Structure 1
Amino acid sequence: MPDQTIPQAPTPEKPLSPEAPAPALTRRRLLGTAGATGLVLGVAGGAAGYTAAPAQATPLSTIGSERAMFHVKHQPGITQGLQARGHLIAFDLAAGAGRKEAAALLRRWSETARRLMAGEAAPHDDTDVARDAGPSSLTITFGFGHSFFARTGLEKQRPVALDPLPDFSSDQLDKSRSNGDLWVQIGANDALVAFHALRAIQKDAGSAARVRWQMNGFNRTPGATAHPMTARNLMGQMDGTRNPKPTDADFEKRIFVPASGSNDPAWMANGSYAVVRRIRMLLDDWEKLSVKAQEQVIGRRKSDGAPLSGGTETTEMDLEKTDAKGDLVVPLNAHARITRPDQNGGAAMLRRPFSYHDGIDADGVPDAGLLFICWQADPLRGFVTVQRKLDRGDALSKYIRHEASGLFAVPGGAAEGEYVGQRLLEG
């Protein structure tokens, strides 16, 4: 993923005297004191959406003080850096629930997201799970599945890009853990803050929708390394080296639906499409390989992510370079070779995954891997193009298994006074 900017903790306006008793700390007090700190942070120093929480009499840590904004052009949770904890949850509308109930639900969810992302309590029946914590970069993102439109009588507003994904030969999908009418992505840099949001979203669903499936993930905590760097997955490989960056000239075009001149319906302006795949890593088989063999599968050095053709992590891969025997240094079936945009007609996706570990089975085999999430303006030109090529001969396929899948239309961010999806549900 793009590097994350790690800011310094806010400085309190006036330090407490040694004799003065510290005020009782509450979530409201921690976040409510007016401050003048002006830190702005984001992905690769350029993605909008994060600001530091106001300074407090007793400051939060750096991680706790970071805040993502709810009312932005693109929904939060897309361009921000990787978060330490994530929850994915899909809902199906309840029997008899339709457009009216869906609109009321999205209105509730949006208000809850706005408040929690600001570090405030839930609008009602707050559980106190996140009491005393700051926003911790919490983001809550909402999307619509293919089936949502038939259930709400909005078939004419369903984007063509939301057509079901094709079957791939390596798929072993569990339908009960795939797709769904509604999808919510929750991320934060504190596990309790993330769980607090998950519980609030679930409770808000009420009788309008029921949980179809739910998955939990994690990443390295920002600041755990000496300097910002690309994250590693559970195979120990750097994951996301060639991710598009918000500073790229064509980033918006590749990742987001334009506000005009698109074949997508108007309500998708500034939105994106999320492909979600639960990919199990066959770690016992993978870890039997030597480091050299693992590097041949990926096409990059495990130590620093540099291509096998030489250089550093960001060096352009030399696909034609050969060794003393005349063999290609980067094998033809290496994962990094196959997934390069210039090998797929320029197809690009913004990868923003979480790792997962759901325990160890009776045979001692870990149920672990990647909650793969990628964002693109057109899934047919993005994910589908790349996955079809991987399906034809990726060396990594032997060590992974796709077990669940979903495709969701994620509308643009809600303006002040709006809820997410309002232009669809009330248009």
Structure 2
Amino acid sequence: MTDQSATEATVPGQTDAGHSPSCEPSGQTESEQSGRTEQGGQGQQGGQGVSRRKLLGTAGATGIVLGAAGAAAGHAAAPAQATPLASLGSTRAMFHGKHQPGITEGLQARGHLVAFDLAPGAGRKEAAALLRRWSTTAERLMAGEAAAHGDTDVARDAGPSSLTITFGFGHSFFDRTGLVKQRPASLDPLPDFSSDRLDKARSNGDLWVQIGADDALVAFHALRAIQKDAGSAARVRWQMNGFNRSPGATTHPMTARNLMGQLDGTRNPKPAEPDFDKRIFVPADGSKGPAWMANGSYAVVRRIRMLLDDWENLSVRAQEQVIGRRKSDGAPLSGGTETTAMDLEKADAQGDYIVPVNAHARITRPDQNGGSAMLRRPFSYHDGFGADGTPDAGLLFICWQADPLRGFVPVQRKLDRGDALSQYIRHEASGLFAVPGGAARGEYVGQRLLEG
């Protein structure tokens, strides 16, 4: 959860970094979550001339304005007529482009992360065929169309719902495919951190897929299609499910909150900033890695458990001292509003810093870490309760950067040495993946690596 300054603006672009476990997740306003890429744009199904996900049903338009008490009456009174697809379902992200989808889009309401290992005997040829199948499926599903083969109809009545599907390669992939010479130096394994309690079975992997959508069935449909496409070429290594607040759920656009109740992601780098691409994406000129990684990025994935019982036993004042920001509105303890620059030198009458020296927001500020920047785009998770009744809940932390050795690693090392938040979180799984640039029309993701 790193705040690279714990919580301040909103979106996959901010300048200080929201507060959350390990490198601070992405803070995006709800308006950015709902404002995806392209409205409508639905595909056709099997010659019928009608999108597979044409209608939401009578609850689509009317359900949004019904209160909880009036919902049943509203459904009973609603006429059996076709209603327009709600904007939530009709919004579409594009598969083809300079970068892969699922990186700069706003936070999505539902997410699945899944890693695969190539099956014994599978190599470069099988990997290429798999990425070709996956890319075809991703393009169709993101357009609101059915999968090409064996579609389950799980999302038949939904629109694209901002579905994004993103593919990446782990360190071991290059050994399995005989492409070691093409492995980027930036994909070297992450160093050990003293706070890590990693489960190797839920870490790393040959291949990684990130799925996000604003509808849970659309996201699950994509997960199932990707898993079926793997066939005999790859086997699931681990899989995790996450969620965020749904677009439109608050009365005004605001930075998202994590399961600790903190505004999270205030100072994420913003796409509008002049150095955004330089900090997040690999340059296309080949100066920072192999040519096949042009316009790509590196994803650090961490499953960070929040020790919520311990955290919730703290007073709000104590929680704010740990983070360095007010819980109510994300403003720095030094004063102002959420977007006010934190005054690290401000002291109280006793001469103590207003923002404690070990506060998460202070430690993770980019200007306190040589300008290290990461685009944080996480999901919260809840996987039930342990035998002792404690919740297995926290953050599926995902951060994007042009070079993790200059982005994630130095910040995490600093957090490792004295972050006040560290006693309330536990890093339980980890992965680092090279995510190539977007596929041009007629290409599949990773083609320049696998056929280069």
**Scaled by the length of structure 2, what TM-score is found?**
0.84
User: Matches of 1:25 and 1:371 in 2, distance apart?
Assistant: 37
The aligned amino acid for 1:426 is E
Instruction: Say whether 1:421 aligns with 2:446.
Output: yes
Residues 2 and 28 from structure 1, CA distance in 2 versus in 1: closer, same or farther, beyond 3 angstroms? Answer: closer
- Once residues 229 and 74 of structure 1 are traced to their aligned partners in structure 2, the CA distance between those partners, rounded to angstroms, is 26
Match of 1:239 among 238, 248, 264: 264
Q: Distance in 2 between matches of 1:301 and 1:84?
A: 25
Secondary structure of the corresponding residue to residue 414 of structure 2: helix
Q: Distance in 2 between matches of 1:227 and 1:220?
A: 13
Partner amino acid, structure 1, of 2:97: V
Alignment map for 1:44-59 (pairs within 5 Å): 58-59=83-84
Q: Distance in 1 between matches of 2:163 and 2:249?
A: 18
1:354 aligns with 2:374: no
RMSD of aligned residue pairs (Cα, Å)? 1.8
Structure 2 distance, partners of 1:24, 1:205, is: 30
Percent identity, aligned pairs only, is 85
Amino acid at match of 2:104: T
8 Å contact kept, 2:51–2:145: no
Contiguous gaps of at least 5 residues in structure 2 = 1-26, 41-47, 57-81
- Provide the rounded CA distance (Å) in 2 between the counterparts of 1:245 and 1:329: 28
Post-superposition offset of 1:24: 12
- Cα distance between partner residues in 2 of 1:192 and 1:28: 12
2:159 maps to 1:121: no
Cross-structure match for 1:191? 216
- Indicate conservation of the 8 Å contact 2:107/2:244, yes or no: yes
Contact 1:144–1:410 (Cα < 8 Å) also in 2 = yes
Residue 320 and residue 183 in structure 1: after superposition, are their counterparts in 2 closer, same or farther (change >3 A)?
same
Which secondary structure state, in structure 1, belongs to the residue aligned with residue 92 of structure 2?
strand
CA distance in 2, matches of 1:24, 1:266: 41
Partner SS, residue 381 of structure 1: coil
Letter in 2 for 1:158: R
1:367-410 CA-to-partner distances (Å, cap 9, x unmatched) read 00000000000000000010000000000000000000000000
Q: Is the 8 A contact 2:53 2:155 kept in 1?
A: no
Specify which structure has the bigger relative contact order, considering alpha-carbon pairs within 8 angstroms and separated by 6 or more residues: 2
Assess if the C-alpha contact under 8 Å between 1:276 and 1:373 holds in 2. yes
Equivalent residues of 1:344, 1:385 under 8 A apart: yes
8 Å contact from structure 1 (residues 274, 409) kept in 2: yes
Distance 2:294 2:395 in 1: 29
Letter of the 1:120 counterpart: E
Native 8 Å contact 1:67 1:138 kept in 2: yes
C-alpha contact 2:53 2:159 (8 A) present in aligned 1: no
In structure 2, the partner of 1:47 is none
**Change in 2 beyond 3 A, CA 1:400/1:10:** closer
Would the aligned equivalents of 1:90 and 1:182 in 2 still touch at CA under 8 Å?
yes
Give the AA of the match of 2:319.
Answer: Q
Q: Does 1:283 align with 2:297?
A: no
Task: Give per-residue Cα distances to partners, 1:172-208, cap 9 Å, x unaligned.
Answer: 0000000000000000000000000000000000000
2:252 counterpart residue number: 227
Whether the 8 Å contact between 2:286 and 2:294 is mirrored in structure 1 is no
Q: Quote how far apart the aligned CAs of 1:263 are.
A: 2.9
Against the structure 1 CA distance between its residues 182 and 74, is the aligned structure 2 distance closer, same or farther, given a 3 Å change threshold?
same
- What is the aligned length? 391
- Aligned pair 1:75/2:100, yes or no? yes
Q: Residue in 2 aligned with 1:344?
A: 369
Match of 2:86 in 1: 61
Hey, what does 1:396 align to over in structure 2? 421
Partner of 1:156: 181
List aligned pairs for 1:18-97, cutoff 5 A. 27=52, 29=54, 58-97=83-122
**Match status 1:294 vs 2:311:** no
1:229 deviation in Å?
Answer: 1.1
Equivalent position of 1:264 in the other structure: 289
2:376 alignment partner AA:
R
Correspondence 1:147 to 2:172: yes
Question: Which secondary structure does the structure 1 equivalent of 2:392 belong to?
Answer: strand
Shift of the 10–217 alpha-carbon distance from structure 1 to 2, 3 Å rule, reads closer
Alpha-carbon distance in structure 2 between the residues aligned to 1:352 and 1:328: 31
Check the 8 A contact 2:363/2:415 in 1, yes or no.
Answer: yes
Secondary structure at 1:217 match in 2: strand
Measured after TM superposition, the shift of residue 59 of structure 1 is: 1.8
Q: Helix, strand or coil for the counterpart of 1:68?
A: coil
Q: Which residue of 2 aligns with 1:51?
A: none
Flag the 1:216–1:28 CA change in 2: closer, same or farther, 3 A.
Answer: closer
Q: Please give the alpha-carbon distance, in whole angstroms, between the structure 1 residues aligned to 2:271 and 2:127.
A: 32
Aligned partners of 1:81, 1:202: CA distance in 2, in Å?
Answer: 25
